[in-house]
Amino acid sequence: MRVVVTGAAGMIGSNLVHGLNAIGCDEVIAVDDLTDGMKYRNLLGARLADYFDRGEFYARFERGELGHIEVIFHEGACSDTLEHNGRYMLETNYRCSKGLLDACQAQGTRLLYASSAATYGDTRAFREAPECERPLNVYGYSKLLFDNVVRRMLPTARHQVAGFRYFNVYGPREQHKGRMASVACHHFGEIRERGKVRLYGEYGGYGPGEQLRDFVYVEDVVAVNLWFLRHGERSGLFNVGSGRAQ
C-alpha cells in the first residue's frame, strides 16, 4: 500500500510516519517544506519510499504523475494560530487542501486530513455541527472553510474523506514548533529549567488557574488515523481529543 503523509516532518506527521512503519507500512511518501532544516530530525529512523517538497508534490499529484496512491494523510498546513496574514493562511490551509481533495476524488485516493478544534472558537459546545462553529482567528476560519467543502461533498463522495478536529495535541517531536508548541511542552521546559511553571492570571473572564484545555497525546492521534486507515468505509468530520478538559 502506497501512502502519502503531508507535513511529514511536523509533530503529528512525523509521529504518523513512524506509526505507519510500526504496522509494516514502508511505502510512505513524505511531503514537507524543509526550509527549516532542523525538522529533518523528526524523520530520523523512518523508512520512506520517497520525499517531495510540498510544491512539487501537489503539482505532480494533481497531474496524475505519481501513480496510484491509496491514502493521503494530509497533516501539512500553516498551524500558527497567531498568523494574521489571511491571504497566506487561506491559500495554504484552504486552497491547497481543496485542490488535493478534488485530485483525490478524481484519482481514487482516500483522504484523511487534519482539521482543528479551532473551528469551534467561542462556543461552549464542541459538536461537529455548524451552530457550534465560531472560530476566533483566521486559522480556525481557514480550517472551517475547508470542512464545509467536505460537508458539501460527502453525500456524493466516491472515496473516503475524513477530517479530524484535533484538540491540544502534545508529545514527542514538537521541539521545532517554538511558541506554537503545546502548553505541556512549554511547562516541561520550565520545570526542567526552574523547577516550577508560570500559570496564567485572570484573563477572558476566567480566574487565575481556571483556564482548561482538552489535551490529547500524539500517539492517540496516530491511533485514530490508523483506525480510519483500516476502515475505509468511514467518512465525515470527527473530534479527536481526550473528551476531558483539565
The answer to whether residue 110 is domain-embedded is: yes
What average pLDDT does the segment 26-34 reach? 97
Q: What's the whole-number average pLDDT of the chain? A: 90
For the stretch 37-51, pLDDT in tens is: 789 999 999 999 999
Q: Binning pLDDT at 50, 70 and 90, where does residue 205 land?
A: low
What single string gives the DSSP state of each residue in 105-134?
HHHT-EEEEEEEGGGTBS-S---SSGGG-B
Domain count, the chain: 1
Which CATH number belongs to the domain containing residue 152 in this structure? 3.40.50.720
The answer to whether residue 196 is domain-embedded is: no
Which has the higher per-residue pLDDT, 43 or 203? 43
One of 51, 88, 98, 177 is an active-site residue; which one? 177
What whole-number distance in Å separates Cα of residue 18 and Cα of residue 216? 18
One of 58, 120, 139, 141 is an active-site residue; which one? 139
Q: Which of 148, 112, 154, 101 is nearest to 128 (CA)?
A: 148
Strand partners, 239: 165
**Over 50: is that where the pLDDT of 244 sits?**
yes
Quote the pTM value: 0.90
Which has the higher per-residue pLDDT, 205 or 158? 158
The answer to whether residue 207 is domain-embedded is: no
- In the residue annotation, 166 being an active-site residue is answered as no
Name the burial class of residue 48, with classes exposed (0-12), middle (13-18) and buried (19+) by CB atoms within 10 angstroms of its CB.
middle
**Over 50: is that where the pLDDT of 186 sits?**
no
The answer to whether residue 157 is domain-embedded is: yes
The answer to whether residue 203 is domain-embedded is: no
* High-pLDDT (> 70) share of the chain, %: 85
Residue-range definition of the domain harbouring residue 59: 3-170+216-240
- In the residue annotation, 203 being an active-site residue is answered as no
